Amino acid sequence: MFEVTLELQKDAVEMRKVYANTVREKIVENTPIIALEADLMSSMAMDGVHKDHPQHVINCGIMEANVIGVAAGLSLTGRVPFVHTFTAFASRRCFDQLFMSLDYQKNNVKIIASDAGVSACHNGGTHMSFEDMGIVRGLANSVVMEVTDAVMFRNILLQLMDLKGFYWVRTIRKQATQVYKEGSTFTIGKANLLRDGSDVTLIANGIMVAEALKAAEMLEREGVSAAVIDMFTLKPIDKDIIIKYAAKTGKIVTCENHSIHNGLGSAVAEVLVENHPVPMRRVGVKERYGQVGTQEFLQQEYGLTAEHILEAAKALL
């Protein structure tokens, strides 16, 4: 069960600290976790954990393809590998390895893909992934998620320790906007209705959840009732809630820090067209590559703000 906090303040703890702290906790508890890094250990606050637990945190160096294979071998011998690297390298760089060494042979490996979309900021366009969710959701056995805030990230990480299979968790590294109250829990594959509404439904994931909540406030001031759904599991997607809210509000806007192709917008459109077609708009990155900049600048530049969601919703009304 989850509870929403309405303040929309920054999380107290960075997402990378959530990862490092949770991994450390599971190591100390003597679970079979083993964390693999590809020379981005310090970027993910894992250097301290590595120093204290060198048998449980392996820095494999800059060789993402090999890291995926090593994780497969660890899985085949009973360990629970978590692999972290930047989203771009975890997806584009080693897709065949994800397919062949993990998903096809049902290995038990969790990929933590950081620096999602525009949050790669000053690493710029070369390091910015707008494609990964689409790439990974094409795999037959994959479960694909994007976490919203620190409370959710920790809860999902804890769940993944006990779930077998190929899981993809996309996240930003720094502070997210807090959406959920401490102690909230989440069901993988089931979306969260954050706010009910009757005129339009905003379906968002990742950093766009907070933007959608802000947009819903703005819409309310204009007399429009907007529902907000956090679709943190992209695959398997929660069809029921999409169909229910398409029927209830008759209009859908998707909001993602990703290309509008093959990610959340596409996945929601697929459900609608086969079940309950309604007019929709996709807020997301449109046929562009990234560039350097602050997250605020990039969200503005790529159309990923509450104002852009507001505009898209109004176009449907």
Site for another protein contains 57 (CB under 8 A)? no
The torsion of the CA quartet 21, 22, 28, 29, rounded to 10 degrees, works out to: 160
Residue 163 CA from chain centroid, whole number: 18
Between CA 46 and CA 301 the distance in angstroms is: 32
User: In b/e form, how buried is each residue of 78-88, taking b as 16+ CB within 10 angstroms?
Assistant: ebbbbbbbbbb
- The interface with another protein within residues 11-50 (CB under 8 A) comprises 34
Per CB under 8 A, the list member of 76, 163, 315, 317 interacting with another protein is: 76
51 binds another protein (CB under 8 A): no
Q: Is 68 in the site for another protein (CB under 8 A)?
A: yes
Closest CB 39 distance from another protein, rounded Å: 12
Q: Which of 73, 183, 189, 277 binds another protein (CB under 8 A)?
A: 73
Least Å from the CB of residue 162 to another protein: 19
Query: Please, which residues have CB within 8 angstroms of residue 131's CB and are 6 or more apart in sequence?
Result: 91, 92, 258, 259, 262
Residue 100 or 193 having the CB closest to another protein: 100
Near another protein by CB under 8 A: residue from 55, 140, 162, 287? 55
Candidate residues 3, 12, 28, 61; the one interacting with another protein per rule CB under 8 A = 61
Q: How far is the CB of 80 from another protein (least distance, A)?
A: 11
Residues between 78 and 97 that touch another protein (CB under 8 A): 78-79, 81, 96-97
Nearest Cα to 269, choosing from 179, 134, 86?
134
Q: How far is the CB of 160 from another protein (least distance, A)?
A: 19
CB closer to another protein out of 21 and 66: 66
**Closer residue to another protein, CB minimum distance, 57 or 213:** 57
Q: Rounded to the nearest whole angstrom, what is the least distance from the CB of residue 31 to another protein in the complex?
A: 14
Determine if 112 is a binding residue for another protein (CB under 8 A): no
Tell me whether residue 105 or residue 275 sits nearer to another protein (CB atom).
Answer: 105
Question: Exposure of 32 by Cβ count < 10 A (0-12 exposed, 13-18 middle, 19+ buried)?
Answer: middle
Return the number of the residue (41 or 216) whose C-beta is nearest another protein: 41
Q: What is the CA radius of gyration of the chain?
A: 19
| 223 lines the binding site for another protein (CB under 8 A) | no
CB 128 within 8 A of CB 290: yes
Q: Where are the beta strands (DSSP E) in the chain?
A: 33-37, 57-59, 80-86, 110-114, 143-146, 167-170, 192-195, 200-204, 226-230, 233-235, 252-259, 280-285
Summarize as ranges the residues that interact with another protein (CB under 8 A).
Answer: 34, 55, 58, 60-61, 63, 65-79, 81, 96-97, 99-101, 104-106
